[in-house]
Copies of this chain bind each other. A is one copy, B any other.
């Protein structure tokens, strides 16, 4: 039994239902009845009535979008019949290489040992926040305490996953950079000096 026409009339509850559709389609979290009532400046009971209408409209077998009540409230999800297609969408192809920003940040952390975002930014000449966040999210670098015995900026080091991806038993197997300096500190100083001369 289908009554989709109810949603497109102009009666007030249908208008409220459209507002709720709009709120749910842009939400990143399930929304509670209270949140929906507050955002739409309407009454709880009417929101519940509208949700009833929408549940009827957005249900398995009838729509690819399904309205579901979960722990935190209400949210849209993909219909089960589309599970295979959704699986294909989210199955990312294996990525062949990292972006220049990620690669530079990773190389700095790998060669110079635990370092902070300001350290990385100084050497690269640009802010490192998004590159660092990206590498942390991928599990290639991780936090390793703070500078100055705990009070300073967060330091980052490479992870075991990094060693696996780069085929290294340990960091000591990294290709040597003797031409740039004998120690990590020397290389760091050299990179920092070059960075200062680079055009902004």
Query: CB within 8 Å of B: which residues of A?
Result: 2, 4-5, 7-8, 15, 17-23, 25-27, 31, 35, 38-41, 62-65, 76-79, 81-82, 84-86, 88-90, 99-101, 116-118, 121, 124-127, 129-131, 133, 136-137, 142-143, 145-146, 150, 152-154, 198-200
Q: Is the CB of A146 within 8 A of B20?
A: no
> What is the interface of chain A mostly: helix, strand, loop, or mixed?
helix
Q: Which residues of B contact A198 (CB under 8 A)?
A: 152-153
Least Cβ–Cβ distance between A132 and chain B, in angstroms:
8
Further 13 A-B residue pairs, CB within 8 A, beyond A2-B4, A26-B89, A124-B154: A2-B8, A4-B4, A8-B62, A18-B79, A18-B82, A22-B86, A23-B78, A26-B78, A39-B85, A41-B84, A101-B143, A127-B133, A153-B198
Residues of B within 8 A of A86 (CB): 22-23, 26, 39
In the assembled complex, how far is the CB of residue A156 from the closest CB belonging to chain B, in whole angstroms?
9
**A101 to chain B: closest CB distance in Å?**
5
Set of chain B residues within 8 Å of A126, measured between Cβ atoms:
143, 154
B146 and A19 within 8 A (CB): no
Bound-state CA distance A198–B200 (Å) is: 39
Question: How far, in Å, is A58 (CB) from chain B's closest CB?
Answer: 9
Q: Bound state CA distance, A98 and B199, in angstroms?
A: 26
A18 CB contacts on chain B under 8 angstroms: 63-64, 79, 81-82
